[in-house]
Chain A
Amino acid sequence: MSVLVLLIFISLLGFFFLLTRRQGVRHIGLREVETWKQLPNLIGAAVESGRRLHLSLGHGVLGQPDTATLLAGLNAVGQIATVTVVSDKPPVITTTDGATALLAQDLVRQAYRQQNAAEQYRDDVARVAGLSPLSFNGALTAVVRDEAVAGSIFIGSAGPEVVLLTEAGRQAGAPTFAGSDNIAGQAVLFAAADQTLLGEDVYSAGAYLGRMPAHIASLHTQDVMRWLIVGAMLVGILWTTVQALMG
C-alpha cells in the first residue's frame, strides 16, 4: 500500500508541475545534458551529408523491465525521425523485439505523414537485427558498415556487448551517442561511446528533444523525488546512528 501511496504522490507532483508549466506560473529550466546538446549537430550533419542515421532501441522487449527504456527510446525515435525524414535517406531503426519494431515503424510512418511525404515511407525502416543481445549487437556492426550511417543513436537496454557497436562506429567514422539503463552497459559506453547518457538521462529524450510539457514535468518530479529520497536517507542514517549511540 505504501508503494501505491508513493505512486499517487508522484502522479500528483507530476500533475502539479504540468499545470504550473502550462499556466506559465514558473518556468524551471532543464539542466544541461551534453549528449542532448550535441545531438542536433549529429542529426544536422547526417541530413546535410545525405546519409542516414542509425537509431537503436537496444535489446529491450516490451512487457519486460526495460519497457520504460524502450518507451523513452521510441520517444526519441519519433522526435529524430520527424527531423530526418527530410533527409535523402530515412533513418534505420534496429531492435530485438518484433513488437517494438512495429511501434517504431508506426512512429516513422507518422513522421512521414506529418511531413506530407507518406508515399516515401518504407516498411524496412525498422528491423529486428537479432534476437539475443550478443547477436543483436553483432548485427549492428553490419548495419553501421552496410548502410554507411552518419552516426548511431542508441537509447535502450545495452550490456557490455554494446562495445561491438561503438567500435564499428569508430571504424566507420560514425559517432555513437548512447544511453542505457544497464549499469554495466553505462560503464562500457562511458569508455567507448562519443556521448553517453548516464542514469535517468536516458528517459529525458522527450523533454530535451521534443520539449513536451508532460516529459518536462516528469523531469521536475524526478528531481524533487530524488532530493526527497536523499533527505530520507540522511534522516534514516542519522536516526540509526543515534539509536546505536543511545544503545
Chain B
Amino acid sequence: MAVLRCPHCGKPNPDFLDLCQYCEKPMKAAAASAGESKDLDRLRSSSADEGDVPDWLKTLTGDLSAQAAAPAEDMPNWLDTGTSTPAEGTGEALPDWLKSLGATGAMPFPPPPPSAPTEEMPDRLPEATPAQPAIGPQPSPISAEPESTEAELPDWLRKATGPLTTELAPPPPPPVRPVEPQPAEEIPDWLKRATGMLREKPVEPAMPLPAESEGLPDWLKAATGPLTTAFAPRETTPVPPPPPDVPGLEKGELPDWLRPMTGKLPAVEPAEAPARAPTAEEARPIVSEPSPAGVTAPPLLESEPDWLVTLREVPEELAEPEAGAVPTPPADLAQAELPSWLAAMRPVDVAPTGLDRETDDYMESVGVLKGLRGVLRAEPSVVLPGKSATNVHLLNYTDAQSRQAALLTKLVTVEAPAPTAQKRLALSAWPWERWLVAALLILSLVLALPFGRDAAGQEISGPFAGLFPLPRTAALEVVRAFETINALDAARPVLVAFDYEPGQAGEMTPLADVVVGHLIRRGLPIVAISTQVTGAGVAEDRLARLTGAARGRINDYVRGVHYINLGYLPGGPLGIRQLVGAPRSLARMGLPASGNLWETAPLLGSVQSFNDFSAVIVLSHTPDGARAWVEQTQGTTPRLVLATSAGAAPLVRPYFEGDGTRIAGFLGGPAAAMQYDTLGGNVLAVEQERAGWSRRWDMLGVGLLTMAVLLIFGNLIHGVRRSLAQAWRVKAR
C-alpha cells in the first residue's frame, strides 16, 4: 500500500484518501512529488562507504564505484523507483523477490562532488525530482542528507519560508525512515555552506537533539517562537536560521519578510545574534510544543457557557507541556552528569524510534468545540473507510544490507548468460551403442542358421551351425520327471499350469512341448489353467498345436473330452488355495447359457477334489509362480513336476531337493528340455522338428557366448575410458 504524506501536517496517509485523516485537508495535489521524494530520501540515506561490504562480495562484483558508473540500462527496475524512465530490459532478468525488495530498497549513490556553489542549491534540488533520473552515470549531486520538497512543507511554513528559499537554503524535510547519522566529513562542502546550521534533522519533541543543530540565532528564536506558538501545527519542520552571512540582515534585525508577521504577534524583543555556539537547549526545535495557549477563538454563541470560555482561555503558563516534550532545565543550572554505573543502567529502549508519532491532534473545526484539540470526533477514525496508515510495507534494513542487496542485484543482472549446451552432433546423439549390440546379437544368431540349400538339396550351414551338439545325457531331476510322468495313471487327469506370458514363450515353449508332449503321447487327460492373465492364451495355443501335431500320428485328442482349458485363475496363491480346497467351487466359465463347465465337460466329471488329479505340472517362468504352487498344494496327494526358466532354477531347486517325494521332478531351462527330449518325451520328435531343435540349440549357444564376449570387451573399453578420464582429471587438477 502506498502512503502519502499530508503536505499540511506531514502525517502518513493511505494513498486512496483525498483528505488527510489527521488534518482533513486535501493532499492529492502534492501527493506525487511527496511520495516520490520519499523514495529518493531513502535512496540518498543509504549512501555510504563500502566498508561494510564483505570481501567475497567485493571480489564478485568488483569496485562499487564501477557500478555507479555503469550505464543506466544495467540498473534493475527497483532501483529506478525514483526515476520516471525505468531502464528497460533489466526488470525481467530480476527475480520477483528482488523486485519486491526493490520497492523499498535503497541504492548506494556515488559520492557527491566535493563542493558546489551555494547558489546552485535550489537548482540542484529539482534534479532529484522524479522528472529527472537521479541514478545514472553522472554523479548525483544529492548528498547523504535528507532533502525537502515543497510538497512536504505545511502551508504556513511554505509561506513563512518562501522568501528563504530564494535567499537561504530550504530546510530538510523529515526523513521517511530513520537515517543513520552521517559523519560531517561525508557532507560536501557546498552543502555545508548551503545549509549551514540547517543540517539538523527535524526531530520529534521527545528526541534528543543532535549537537549539530546548535547555532540557532537568538533573534530568530525570539522571532519564530511566538510565531509557531500562534500558527504552527504541532509537527513541523524547524525554521532554519539564516546563515550569518546573509546579505542585508543585521544582528537584531528582523528581515523584511518577517516583519509583517510580527505585527500579528505578541511583541517580542529581538534577541541578539549569538556570539557563541548555540547550546542544545537553544537548538531545540522551534516548534515543539504546539499549545492552544494564546488561541482565542471568538465565541460562536452568545450564550456560550463560562466553563467553555474558560477552557478556551487557558493561560499559557498553565498549558501542559505535550507528552514527550523534553523539559527544559533552567539556564543557570548546570547539567549534572550521570555516574558511569548509572548511565550503564539507563534503559536502552527509550531511544527515539524516529517514526512519526501517531498522536491524534485533531482540532475540531465546527460546532461548540471548534478550536479545541484532542476532542473525540463525531466519526472516529476507526470507522472511516480506509486502510491502516501504518507503513507496514516498509522494510527495516540497514545500509549494509542495502548495499549487499544492491551488489546481489548486480550479480544477477550482469551475470553472464548460461552457456547453452552445444547441440550434440547427430552421430553422437544416435544410440549407436544400442544398435551395435543389437546388430551383433542378431548377426550371431543368424550365423547359426542355414543359409539355404545347395543344388544337391543339402543345407548350406552357417559358420556357427553345429557348434553345439544336442545333449545325449540327462540330469537326475530330469530323469525323475520323465519317470514320474511315465508312471501316471492314464485314467486320471493331469493339471497343467501355464504360468508364463507369451513374451517368455521363447524359453518356456521347449519345456512345455516336451512335458505336455509326453502327456499326449501317453494319452493322459489334460486340464490346463493359468494364474497369469495372458497365460490362458498360451495354454490354448500350445494345447492346440501339440494335439494337432499328435492327431492322426500318436493320439487323437478332442477338446473337452481329452483336454480342456480352464483359463485364467485369479488371485494367484489365493486362487490356487481355493482350487486346492474346492475345485468345483471355481467361478463358472462362459455365458450362463453354456452351463456349468464342471458339469458339462466329461473330463471334469471325475474331478471332485484336488486329489483326483494324478499330477500337477507347473510351467513357471518365475520362482514365485513355482513357489506358490509348491506352498499352496501342501497336504495334497498329486505329485508335482516343476519346469521353470533357467533364471528361476537356482531358486526353485531347493524345493525339489527338500521335498523330493511330493516334488517328483524338476526341469530348469531349455537345456533341461533338450535332456528330456533325449529321453523320448517329445511328441514332435519327427526328423524335421529335430532339425529345428538343433538350430535353436545352436542359436542359444551362440547368443549366450556373444553376450559374454560383449560384456567382457564392452566393460574393458568402458573401464579403460573411465580410468583414463579419471587420470586426466587428476592431472588437470
Residue of A nearest to B621 (CB): A159
Binds A, one of B132-140, B252-260, B511-519, B571-579: B571-579
- Pick from B501, B624, B627, B651: contact of A132, CB under 8 Å: B501
Residues of B within 8 Å of A160, CB to CB, are 647
Residues of A within 8 Å of B504, CB to CB, are 134
Q: Mark A154-181, 1 if CB is under 8 A from B, else 0.
A: 0000011000000000010000000000
Bound-complex Cα distance A160 to B623 (A): 13
Q: Mark B421-432, 1 if CB is under 8 A from A, else 0.
A: 000000000010
Residues of B within 8 Å of A183, CB to CB, are 623, 651
- Are A133 and B501 within 8 A (Cβ)? yes
Give the contacts of B563-615 with A (CB-CB under 8 A).
Answer: 571-574
Q: Which of A65, A160, A182 has the most CB of B within 10 A?
A: A65
- Are B501 and A171 within 8 A (Cβ)? no
Bound-complex Cα distance A61 to B570 (A): 11
- Pick from B503, B533, B572: contact of A63, CB under 8 Å: B572
- Are B431 and A184 within 8 A (Cβ)? no
Residues of B within 8 Å of A64, CB to CB, are 571-574, 628
Q: Report if A184-B572 is in contact (Cβ < 8 Å); known contacts: A65-B624, A131-B533, A132-B533.
A: no
- Are B647 and A63 within 8 A (Cβ)? no
Residue of B nearest to A134 (CB): B503
B450 to chain A, nearest CB (A): 31
B210 to chain A, nearest CB (A): 50
Q: Report if A132-B572 is in contact (Cβ < 8 Å); known contacts: A65-B628, A183-B623.
A: no
Q: Report if A171-B431 is in contact (Cβ < 8 Å); known contacts: A63-B571, A64-B572, A133-B501.
A: yes
Q: Mark A87-104, 1 if CB is under 8 A from B, else 0.
A: 000000000000000000
- Are A61 and B532 within 8 A (Cβ)? no
Give the contacts of A49-66 with B (CB-CB under 8 A).
Answer: 61, 63-66
Residue of B nearest to A183 (CB): B651
Q: Which of B573, B624, B627 has the most CB of A within 10 A?
A: B624
Bound-complex Cα distance A133 to B501 (A): 9
B509 at the interface (CB under 8 A from A): no
B492 to chain A, nearest CB (A): 29
Q: Mark B665-677, 1 if CB is under 8 A from A, else 0.
A: 0000000000000
Residues of B within 8 Å of A61, CB to CB, are 572
Residue of A nearest to B571 (CB): A63
- Are B533 and A159 within 8 A (Cβ)? no
- Are A182 and B624 within 8 A (Cβ)? yes
B622 at the interface (CB under 8 A from A): yes
Residue of A nearest to B648 (CB): A184
Bound-complex Cα distance A133 to B628 (A): 17
B104 to chain A, nearest CB (A): 28
Residues of A within 8 Å of B534, CB to CB, are 132
Give the contacts of B480-521 with A (CB-CB under 8 A).
Answer: 501, 503-504
Q: How large is the interface on A (under 10, 10 to 19, 20 to 34, 35 or more residues)?
A: 10 to 19
Q: How large is the interface on B (under 10, 10 to 19, 20 to 34, 35 or more residues)?
A: 10 to 19
Residue of A nearest to B531 (CB): A64
A59 to chain B, nearest CB (A): 10
Residue of B nearest to A160 (CB): B647
Residues of B within 8 Å of A133, CB to CB, are 501
- Are B573 and A65 within 8 A (Cβ)? yes
Bound-complex Cα distance A53 to B534 (A): 30
A69 to chain B, nearest CB (A): 11
Give the contacts of B608-661 with A (CB-CB under 8 A).
Answer: 622-624, 627-628, 647-648, 651
Bound-complex Cα distance A184 to B645 (A): 12
- Are A132 and B647 within 8 A (Cβ)? no
Bound-complex Cα distance A60 to B622 (A): 13
Residue of A nearest to B623 (CB): A183
Give the contacts of B691-713 with A (CB-CB under 8 A).
Answer: none
Q: Mark B282-317, 1 if CB is under 8 A from A, else 0.
A: 000000000000000000000000000000000000
Bound-complex Cα distance A134 to B535 (A): 13
Residues of B within 8 Å of A182, CB to CB, are 622, 624
Residues of B within 8 Å of A159, CB to CB, are 622
Residues of A within 8 Å of B623, CB to CB, are 183
A66 to chain B, nearest CB (A): 8
Residues of A within 8 Å of B573, CB to CB, are 64-65
Bound-complex Cα distance A134 to B573 (A): 20
Residues of A within 8 Å of B628, CB to CB, are 64-65
Bound-complex Cα distance A184 to B139 (A): 74
Residues of B within 8 Å of A65, CB to CB, are 572-573, 624, 627-628
Residues of A within 8 Å of B624, CB to CB, are 65-66, 182
Bound-complex Cα distance A125 to B636 (A): 44
Bound-complex Cα distance A134 to B532 (A): 12
Q: Mark A112-139, 1 if CB is under 8 A from B, else 0.
A: 0000000000000000000111100000
Q: Report if A63-B532 is in contact (Cβ < 8 Å); known contacts: A159-B622, A184-B647.
A: no
Residues of B within 8 Å of A131, CB to CB, are 533
- Are B622 and A132 within 8 A (Cβ)? no
Residues of B within 8 Å of A132, CB to CB, are 501, 532-534
Residues of A within 8 Å of B572, CB to CB, are 61, 63-65
B415 to chain A, nearest CB (A): 19
Bound-complex Cα distance A65 to B625 (A): 10
Bound-complex Cα distance A184 to B652 (A): 13
Q: Which of B431, B534, B622 has the most CB of A within 10 A?
A: B622
Known: A131-B533, A134-B504. 14 other contacts (CB 8 A): A61-B572, A63-B574, A64-B572, A64-B574, A64-B628, A65-B573, A65-B628, A66-B624, A134-B503, A159-B622, A171-B431, A182-B622, A183-B651, A184-B622
A-B contact pairs, 21 of them (CB 8 A): A61-B572, A63-B572, A63-B574, A64-B571, A64-B572, A64-B628, A65-B572, A65-B624, A65-B627, A132-B532, A132-B534, A133-B501, A134-B504, A159-B622, A160-B647, A171-B431, A182-B622, A182-B624, A183-B651, A184-B622, A184-B648
Query: Ordered nearest first, which 9 A-B pairs have the shortest CB separation?
Result: A64-B572, A134-B503, A131-B533, A184-B647, A132-B501, A63-B574, A132-B534, A134-B501, A132-B533
